[in-house]
Structure 1
Amino acid sequence: MNVDQLKVEFIKFYDEGDCHVYFSPGRVNLIGEHTDYNGGFVFPCALSFGTYCLIRKTQNDYFQFRSLNQDKTYKINLDSITKAFPKGNWVNYVIGVIAQFVKNDGDLKNGADILFWGNVPNGAGLSSSASLEVATGVTINQEYNFGKTQIDIVRYSQKAEHEYAGVMCGIMDQFASGIGKKDHAIYLNCNNLEYELVPIKLEGVKIVIGNTNSPHSLDEGKYNERVEECRVAVEAIKPSKKIALLGELNPAEFNLFSDKIISETVRKRARHVVTEIERTMKAVENLKQGKLEEFGQLMNESHDSLRDDYEVTGFELDSMVEAARKIEGTIGSRMTGGGFGGSTVNLVKDEFIEQFIEQVGKEYTEKTGIVGEFYVAEIGDGGKRIE
């Protein structure tokens, strides 16, 4: 849908009158997976598709929320706007963000009519939830004149995910959705939120996203389980070296202290995190130097570590990556996002893209019985008002 079509839908629901339009993108992470909540480096970029939010402030003492992607609609009084709904209600991502403004910046004096529509595939590992959260954040911030910074909105969105969706995520997804810039990736230190916008210059190469159509659901426990395993690793190492996060260790230090971690499973989780941070640092330097083959090899190593040490890939993701690596023009292929389903990110030479989509799609379906989808990524801007 385009903006004019969305305005027509808004009027169908809420009658004639002007409305304002905001947008926040999904993201794809090129490398640096499950490092964000461990205080490490990540390297995501915002995508050109995301979530649109149309709003008209009213004099009513309630909000109305509708989504063209969901059946259920909500009418919520201002005095109940911070109260979470039962798990599984999509509006929790929205009111979770609004609640952060209310808790930190003051009550809302009047309500609004709000309509959402998104073209980030749900469950594809491309951050549809972060896109929805940041879209809400930029909308409420501007419409109600809270004057918060984009970083504030990113933090509020992450907090909403923790408190209202029950996913103890890092900050990467919301940061990419809020801070992204067209034709740039974000080299982000998740420990202190220092970041660098790195131009994406891929001569003769494109970023191709492969959606396995095997949706992940991070609130089912596995994601939080990995977060807890990393915490256990930190506690095991602490008596020997005072650290708060695994991101404070380099590979040599990890090798020195890894025997303090009794559980082999927890040791593997920690090894992935420490080596993935190192890979991400090297990958960014390779990209800056135009060394795409080296960057691609680090992508491959990242996926293998996520498969073997972190165990968050699974049959569908592994099948798509294996098929991708058989294509001569594939420079690198890995899962992206939280895992347990979702999408792959691939660097593919231009002249092989058609073959890549056809052959990888065919082999993936033959192996899994699922029809995948492929998108040639366009890198866009972070959340903002567009009309």
Structure 2
Amino acid sequence: MDSLIPLNDTDSEVVYELAPCSNGAKIGLATLNVPKALNALNLNMIRLLDAQLKHWANDDEVALVVIKGAGEKAFCAGGDVVSLHSAMATGEPQNYGQTFFTEEYRLDYAIHCYNKPVIVWGDGFIMGGGMGLMAGASHRVVTERSKLAMPEITIGLYPDVGGSYFLQKAPDQVGLFLGLTGAIMNADDARHAALADHSIDSDKFDSVLAVLCEQNWGKTAGLNHDKLTQILTKFDGESKAMEKGGLRLHHNVIAKLAQYDTLAAKVDYLLSIQTEDKWLARAIKTLQNGCPLSAHLVYQQLKRAQGLSLKACFKMELGMSVHCCEVGEFQEGVRALLIDKDMTPKWQFPTLESVPDDVVEQFFAPKWEKHPLETLV
């Protein structure tokens, strides 16, 4: 749209614009703008986005916010784990892991609790940190190009940025399956797993924005929310049917995880599956090659998060994330996958059975006298 009003430099890592609407209201657009890195979320981007969202929250002219990614490949393919690896390897900057994760959780929490409708246009890759941004949006849109995943088991981490909270909402063991296998979801899968609200053709973004700008947005967030839902639902209905995803196709296979009482039994069951289906085979292979400590963390986080509030989940996860920066598996996983790219991580604990209970328990032990996220409201 030619009428967009730029608010900062177009070379910025997050670009801000305003789209004027018919009655003088405005739509705030934030574009993650590091397409060469698939818009991976670094600390500077977290700070830029957080500051602008706070500004728009207090601007009466801004009726709603849209967050999207630059380029056609990704909304946001994860957090900047390469900078985390550097800090873990060198110790510099000090406490970088705690700083990064604390500020990322604050941003994600702000989106979950935002006082105006937030659309995340989830086109392309949406992984890890991108899922954290998307999960809290009031209107989560996926397209035929969307590829969503929580693949942290491959790097010795766990489904952070709220995975404890949003994976609980998926039906019939799907959340556990996604955490253990890092399985890639398409648009249909995302809706099946309660991770998206609307599926709209990727080439319709400009049309959606044009229709949004034609509206007379009011000052009541609830009414704006309902109007936005109606508009996106109409575009949803006019879009091509999304291809059926692996989660739906293999629903019965995944649901059988409930029959097994222990993590070991659940993993044995998944690894015993013989299939010629490429999607399911890839998910099982990811589990097989993944970090055994991460598998324990996935299992425990979902178990312990049952019934917890969003804030309580975030507080639990921040402790886990900071501890991941101290233990070594996370550093080794990032090294093998993204730094040296030898794809052969040497895990300290190479099997599920070799992970001591007390090592797992340390991830959930109180870490601070005053928790860094205590002030979340």
Q: TM-score, normalising length from structure 2?
A: 0.31
Relative to its length, the structure with more helix (as a share) is: 2
